[in-house]
Amino acid sequence: MIATLEGKVSEKLGELVVIQVNGVGYGLQVTVEDFGALAIGDQARIYVYEHIREQAHDLFGFIKLETKQLFELLLGVNGVGPKMALAILSIASGEQVKQAIASGDTKFIARASSVGKRVAERIVVDLKDKVGLAASELGAEIFASDASILADEAAQALVALGYSAQEIASALAKVDPDLSTQERIKLALKGSR
pLDDT digits over 50-66, tens only?
Answer: 998 888 889 999 999 99
Which pLDDT band, with edges at 50, 70 and 90, does 192 fall under?
Answer: low
pTM of structure: 0.67
DSSP conformation class of 40: T
Residues of the chain with CATH 1.10.8: 149-191
Is the pLDDT at 156 greater than 80? The verdict is no
Higher pLDDT, 31 or 169: 31
Higher pLDDT, 10 or 132: 10
CATH class of 149-191: mainly alpha
For residue 122, count CB atoms less than 10 angstroms from its CB and return exposed for 0-12, middle for 13-18, buried for 19 or more. middle
DSSP conformation class of 134: -
The CATH-assigned architecture of domain 65-137 is Orthogonal Bundle (1.10)
Task: Report CA-CA distances (Å) from 126 to 79, 80, 101, 105, 121.
Answer: 12, 12, 9, 13, 9
Residues of the chain with CATH 2.40.50.140: 4-62
Question: Which CATH superfamily includes the segment(s) 4-62?
Answer: Nucleic acid-binding proteins (2.40.50.140)
Residues of the chain with CATH 1.10.150.20: 65-137
What's the pLDDT at 193?
59
- Long-range contact pairs involving 20-29 (C-beta distance under 8 Å, separation at least 24): 26/2, 26/59, 27/59, 28/59, 28/60, 28/61, 29/58, 29/59, 29/60, 29/61, 29/82, 29/83, 29/86
**CB–CB of 80/123 below 8 Å?**
yes
- Please provide the size of the chain in residues: 193
What's the pLDDT at 132?
62
Helix, coil or strand: residue 47: strand
Is the pLDDT at 146 greater than 80? The verdict is no
Is the pLDDT at 149 greater than 80? The verdict is no
Closest by CA position to 137, among listed 101, 89, 165, 93: 101
